[in-house]
Structure 1
Amino acid sequence: MAKLGDLARLIRSKNAGPFTLTFDVMFETDDVYRKVCASKVLTKASFASIYRVPEEEVTFFEHDAARAIKISIPRPAIQGSRDCGDIYGGQQHGPLVELEIPD
């Protein structure tokens, strides 16, 4: 097994406005991108489980031409509010890095 963090060229999270976080997982080659998509380890349902949000609140799509997986969810706290622990949303991708992708 390989970790998603070892297979992806880039894994990042960031703000998509004050109410939404967006996640990007990008790959260098078509083969690796297809392998990760075919594994079904990273799906709308698995992402909802990892980030503890209802599945219907997850926007998830695979973009073949860009060799990328894009995911968006509501922020757990409004950007800049007292409860906001990551004002830029740039530290939320950590759990994705450790996902194990079967060979």
Structure 2
Amino acid sequence: MTTLLDYCSLVRSKNAGPFTLTFDFMCHDQAAYDALVATGFLDKHLFSTLYGADPDRILVVNHPSALAVKVSLPRPTVQGGPHDTDCYAGQQYAPLMDMEIAQT
């Protein structure tokens, strides 16, 4: 089974302001970055499904120079609001970690 940790040395989620959630996927090396991007795993459909965000409001940016992929989307609830269960959004990456990634 191939997971994000086979490609990435760092996977994290965090706030990008009180209304935006962002994910960083930093790859081990150029080969890992190229392979991860080629899988198409980190796409709008995945994040829309997992986090209930409108795909039109999800931004996926490949950063080849940094060997990284960044994904940003609206937070499911405003930071610090009564229904916010992760004020710093530091745990939002967890559902992605055990998902199997189909290799191309």
TM-score by length of 1: 0.91
Q: Which residue of 2 aligns with 1:37?
A: 37
Gaps of 5+ in 1: none
Q: Which residue of 2 aligns with 1:76?
A: 76
CA distance in 2, matches of 1:37, 1:59: 15
Alignment RMSD, CA only? 1.3
- Aligned counterparts, 1:61-100, within 5 A: 61-100=61-100
Kindly indicate whether the alpha-carbon contact (under 8 Å) linking 1:14 and 1:21 is maintained by their aligned counterparts in 2: yes
CA distance in 2, matches of 1:58, 1:94: 18
- Matched residue pairs, number? 103
**Residue 5 (structure 1) shift:** 2.5
**Residue 30 (structure 1) shift:** 0.5
The code of the aligned residue for 1:25 comes to F
CA distance in 1, matches of 2:20, 2:9: 23
Kindly indicate whether the alpha-carbon contact (under 8 Å) linking 1:5 and 1:96 is maintained by their aligned counterparts in 2: no
Of stretches 66-75 and 91-100 in structure 1, the one that deviates more from structure 2 is 91-100
TM-score by length of 2: 0.91
Gaps of 5+ in 2: none
Kindly indicate whether the alpha-carbon contact (under 8 Å) linking 1:11 and 1:23 is maintained by their aligned counterparts in 2: yes
**Residue 35 (structure 1) shift:** 0.4
CA distance in 1, matches of 2:36, 2:99: 10
The code of the aligned residue for 2:18 comes to P
The code of the aligned residue for 1:90 comes to G
